[in-house]
């Protein structure tokens, strides 16, 4: 399905052929990447658990985002809220409006399932641009502090500033 097609940006459903492209591009950026995550998104999509989206820019895969209409993990698990998961624009395609369009479409999809959408954002500097984007888009912290390895990080407990340390944010979408 195509969700958006204007100004060189196309947003559509994730396809099997995208998995290797995304993985190879992330490896080329110096990221740790395997096909497992994207194959899981395809499975979740085929089972009706998620809407997995890809953005193309001038015909090249440029980014991705996923919407889980009723997520079973995180700060708002099992409350009927949609979650945006695993959002990225490949570095060579940034600053072209692709991330904003992916978020617009993801929020629009989420709004068909619930009045609130949430997401978790990492806290290290690699997430800096995402942190700024979410605040500008109206996302607010959930008030529970940070989560580490899928549970609330208790005050003064040990954690590592890696991809498992996140702050959950939410936004009303209707």
Are 85 and 119 in contact by the 8 Å Cβ rule? The answer is yes
Two structure tokens written together for 50:
């998620």
Two structure tokens written together for 1:
């399905």
- pLDDT by 10-residue block (mean), the chain, 174 residues: 97 98 97 95 97 98 97 90 96 96 98 96 94 97 94 95 96 95
- Record the pTM: 0.94
Q: How many domains does the chain have?
A: 1
User: What CATH number has the domain bearing residue 150?
Assistant: 3.40.630.30
pLDDT at 165: 97
Residue keyed to tokens 């806290």: 123
CA dist 61 and 34 (Å) reads 16
DSSP type of residue 138: T
pLDDT at 91: 94
CA dist 157 and 13 (Å) reads 40
Domain range for residue 123? 2-172
CA dist 37 and 52 (Å) reads 11
pLDDT at 121: 97
């Amino acid at each position: 399905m195509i969700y958006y097609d204007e100004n060189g940006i196309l947003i559509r459903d994730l396809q099997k052929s995208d998995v290797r492209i995304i993985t190879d591009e992330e490896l080329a950026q110096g990221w740790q990447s395997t096909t497992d995550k994207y194959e899981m998104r395809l499975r979740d999509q085929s089972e009706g658990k998620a809407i997995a989206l890809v953005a193309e820019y001038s015909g090249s895969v440029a980014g991705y985002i996923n919407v889980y209409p009723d997520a079973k993990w995180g700060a708002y698990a099992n409350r009927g809220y949609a979650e945006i998961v695993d959002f990225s624009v490949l570095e060579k395609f940034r600053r072209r409006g692709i991330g904003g369009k992916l978020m617009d479409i993801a929020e629009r999809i989420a709004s068909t399932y619930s009045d609130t959408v949430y997401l978790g954002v990492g806290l290290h500097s690699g997430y800096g641009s995402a942190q700024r984007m979410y605040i500008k888009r109206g996302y607010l912290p959930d008030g529970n502090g940070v989560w580490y390895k899928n549970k609330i990080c208790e005050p003064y407990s040990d954690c590592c500033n890696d991809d498992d340390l996140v702050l959950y944010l939410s936004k009303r979408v209707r």
